[in-house]
Amino acid sequence: MEIPDAVDPDRLRADIEANGQFGRVERDTDTAGWGRTAPTGSPANERARDRLVAELDAADCTVSIDAVGNIVGRWEPTSVDSNAAPVAAGSHLDSVPAGGLFDGPLGVYAALEAVRAMQDADAEPARPIEVVCFTEEEGATFADGLLGSSVAAGRRSVEDALALTDDDGRTLRTALDDAGYHGSGRLDASEWNAWLELHIEQHTELEAAGVPAGVVGDITGITHCDVEIAGETNHAGSTPMDARTDALAAASELALAVEERARSLTSGDSTTDPDPDAVGTVGSLSVAPNATNVIPGAVDAGVDIRSTRQDSIETLVETVRETLVTAERERGVETTVTREFDVPPTPMADRLRQRLRDAGERAGVETLDLSSGAAHDSMHVAGVTDAGMLFAPSVDGLSHTPAEWTDWTDCASATRVLATALGALAGVGTQGGDGL
């Protein structure tokens, strides 16, 4: 039996649905599926981890847990050269509040299903294969996101990660201790020969094209700007319009300026090529005193900027700064802007993109080249070893909501591509994997 033929769609579905019971959130319609709330440090996330560890153990994988809770299941049959660099695959099990079934768990359990398929196909890899679940990818509790992979890639120290706190002041160290997932050592992604991550697309390109799997070329860069605007609080009825210093009005101009510049980047102009991946969003506002009959005296705003082109990101950041300078001059407000979160655009390795395309052909699954508008752990991994990403379609592009859905047939098709590529990278049917 060939590896892609050994992928069991029912087994994969059972895994994802069982994981979805932890922190289950019902949808308000009768359509398929449901949501889940399983942030890092929650009882739901702990139960999801427990189930994964049990399934890894049942699949003859040796389980290890590092100091920040990253989980690794290593499959090393007798055919393996124990000194060879492993190939790894996986994703995450944590979720945003009322997130979906597939965001993260598909990648983790597809990686496990790939191992099971190789076992069922009597495949004999030359390299170890590791199934990985990273801690706190979503950034819903302890960090801005990609926490576990940032430690595995050496971009954040173990101690700095463990000292991070949630809104209640609980540290990540305490949360992991309480859950039993504060392990030892540090998962080192640089030791992998290659890394693959299967994820839902969270966009509509695959669905529109009717293609079941997407090979990612680039992952968008992300910058978050934290903006503070200080005006003057005053009475909404007795303060003349020409005597106001309205912080919210200034923030409104900021939101419109970011939107307008992002739109112009997507269409291009006489000096720049169109950048369809450029987006800019003022996604959060905190207004004080936030009363209907009071002129807003202070606003904190969060700006999200993304593109696969760094020049577009810089252009949007400059738009933020220029707009605030204008607001200070014309509205009399005082402003500050800090760039707290900054991850550059990340290309995926050419050899792994080709491996995934080849795997699609071998598995009889059509693939489409595309880019990712969302951040993923693969961004950090790509900084220390070759990384590749594969997408499965998202119905209506919905994600981070209980309405998130990927058809089970597409989950299975993308998993067949993943399993085939992992097998090739691990040297199944050859004298060894890439570079062995």
pLDDT at 3: 97
84 Cβ neighbours under 8 A, 6+ residues apart: 126, 127, 128, 193, 432, 433, 436
C-alpha 156: how far from its chain's center? 17
8 A C-beta contact, residue 323 and residue 257:
yes
- Characterize the bridge pairing of strands 221-230 and 367-372: unpaired
Instruction: Provide the residue type at 337 as one letter.
Output: V
HEC states along 114-174? Answer: HHHHHHHCCCCCCCCEEEEEECCCCCCCCCCCCHHHHHHCCCCCHHHHHCCECCCCCEHHH
**Whole-number Cα distances in Å, 46 to 41, 63, 86, 147:** 7, 16, 27, 17
Question: Please, what are the domains in the chain?
Answer: 3-219+345-425 (3.40.630.10), 221-343 (3.30.70.360)
Pairing of β 194-200 and β 387-392? parallel
Residue 27 pLDDT: 85
pLDDT in tens, the chain (436 residues): 899 999 999 999 999 999 999 999 998 776 778 999 999 999 999 999 999 999 999 999 999 999 999 999 999 999 999 999 999 999 999 999 999 999 999 999 999 999 999 999 999 999 999 999 999 999 999 988 899 999 999 999 999 999 999 999 999 999 999 999 999 999 999 999 999 999 999 999 999 999 999 999 999 999 999 999 999 999 999 999 999 999 999 999 999 999 999 999 998 875 678 999 999 999 999 999 999 999 999 999 999 999 999 999 999 999 999 999 999 999 999 999 999 888 899 999 999 999 999 999 999 999 999 999 999 999 999 999 999 999 999 999 999 999 999 999 999 999 999 999 999 999 997 645 564 4
Contact 108, 131 (CB under 8 A): yes
- Alpha carbon 259 to its chain centroid, in Å, reads 23
Q: What is the reported pLDDT for 431? A: 47
214, 371 contact by CB (below 8 A): no
With CA atoms as reference, report the closest residue to 190 among 88, 259, 309, 289: 88
Give the other-Cβ count within 10 Å of 197's Cβ: 32
How is residue 415 written in tokens? 């998993």
> pTM of the prediction?
0.90
Give the tokens for residue 184: 């030892």
Residue 44's identity, in one-letter code, is: A
So what's the pLDDT on residue 271? 67
Say what the pLDDT of residue 270 is.
Answer: 58
Residue type, 28: D
**In this structure, are residues 308 and 277 in contact, taking their beta carbons and an 8 Å threshold?**
yes
Other CB atoms within 10 A of residue 74 CB:
19
